Structure 1
Amino acid sequence: MMTTSQLVDVSADTCPMTFVRARLRLDRMQPGEVLEVRFKGDEPRDNLPRSFAEQGHSVLVMEFNEDGSGKLLVKKGG
């Protein structure tokens, strides 16, 4: 089972702050560590995975719920 190194909840934020807050947390992590990102809304659902990939990180898990919330597990790139 994969252990999550850290968690950031950006469900109360709007884009682009969702990615900014998540990236600030990733910046403090070591390559290979995993960050759980909790979010809510269509924009973060669409934009966060793409933005993480563009930055060289790997999205390991994407979960979406009917209420618009979701979570990503992101492995920090090296």
Structure 2
Amino acid sequence: MNKKKLDLRGTPCPINFVRSKLQLEKMSSGEILEILLDSGEPIEQVPNSLTIEGYHLESIEDLGEYFSLCVQAK
């Protein structure tokens, strides 16, 4: 299955969470969205917020300059 990618590097909180959620809501159940996030507040807040919303986190990978967060659409 193809992964969709959403590059939110440089996007402040909570806008990055809102954009992530809007993209996930457009996707079919089971599809994977890879979200690129900055370190610090974005990677601390967005995964927690998506989990609270009921999304399943597939993986979080530290790529050095930024993080890759893979989330499954509901």
- TM over 0.5, shorter chain: yes
> 58-67 vs 34-43, which deviates more?
58-67
Gaps of 5+ in 1: none
Equivalent pairs: percent with the same residue? 28
Give TM-score, length-normalised by structure 1.
0.85
Give the Cα separation in 1 of the matches to 2:72 and 2:6: 13
1:71 aligns with 2:68: yes
SS at 1:25 equivalent:
helix
Aligned equivalent of 2:7: 9
Give TM-score, length-normalised by structure 2.
0.89
CA RMSD across the alignment: 1.3
Give the length in aligned residue pairs.
Answer: 74
Question: Which one of 29, 38, 45 corresponds to residue 31 of structure 1?
Answer: 29
